[in-house]
Structures are given as structure tokens and as C-alpha cells.
Amino acid sequence: MVESICGCKWSLTVYKLLAHAVNRPGEMVRRVEGLSTKVLNECLRRNIEYGIIERIAFNEVPPRVEYRLTPFGEKFIKILTELENLQSEMEQQQ
């Protein structure tokens, strides 16, 4: 799972957007240069399958969809943050 998620170069970017309350797909695409709607949808779908992100559809016209981290996703992000911290420590020691 970790290899599949981290292998997608956009997953970490999506997590950071969600952490900053950017939870609508159109807004995500507008904020990240080089991120297409197709690639974003694939990334979101993969993260939903693993239970990291959940999709919330609102019964409105026009339709509105938002994404957020699940409780499991929040734990997963904490682990990734610790790995980033460890990487930084290792780089400082070299």
C-alpha cells in the first residue's frame, strides 16, 4: 500500500492540500501546476480504495463533491510526516 501511494507523485501533494482545507477537486487542480483533472481523479480514487481519503457528495445543483482524510488517513499522514523528519535528520548528519 505504501509503495503504491508514495509511488504516485501527487498523493503527498493532495494530502498537503487537504491539510490546508483545500478539499474540492477543481480548486486542487487550480492550485497545483502540472496536476490534471484526470491524474487527480486517479490519485483520489486510489486513496479512497486504501481508506485514506473519503469522498463526500452533496445533494445540490450543481453537484458538489469534497474530499477529506479518514481517521486512518490522519494516522497515515502522521507516519509520513515522521518519515520526512527522519529523512531531514539523516541529511543533516551527512
φ and ψ at 66, to 5 degrees?
-130, 160
Assessment of whether the complete model's pTM goes beyond 0.75: yes
**CA of 68: how far to CAs of 16, 55, 86, 92, in Å?**
11, 7, 26, 33
Per-residue three-class SS string for 31-64: HCCCCCHHHHHHHHHHHHHCCCEEEEEECCCCCE
Grid coordinates of 24: 474540492
Average pLDDT value for the chain: 91
Per residue in 70-93, pLDDT tens? 999 999 989 988 988 998 899 998
pLDDT tier at 8, thresholds 50, 70, 90: confident
Residue 35: CB atoms within 10 Å: 18
pLDDT at 6: 67
pLDDT tier at 94, thresholds 50, 70, 90: confident
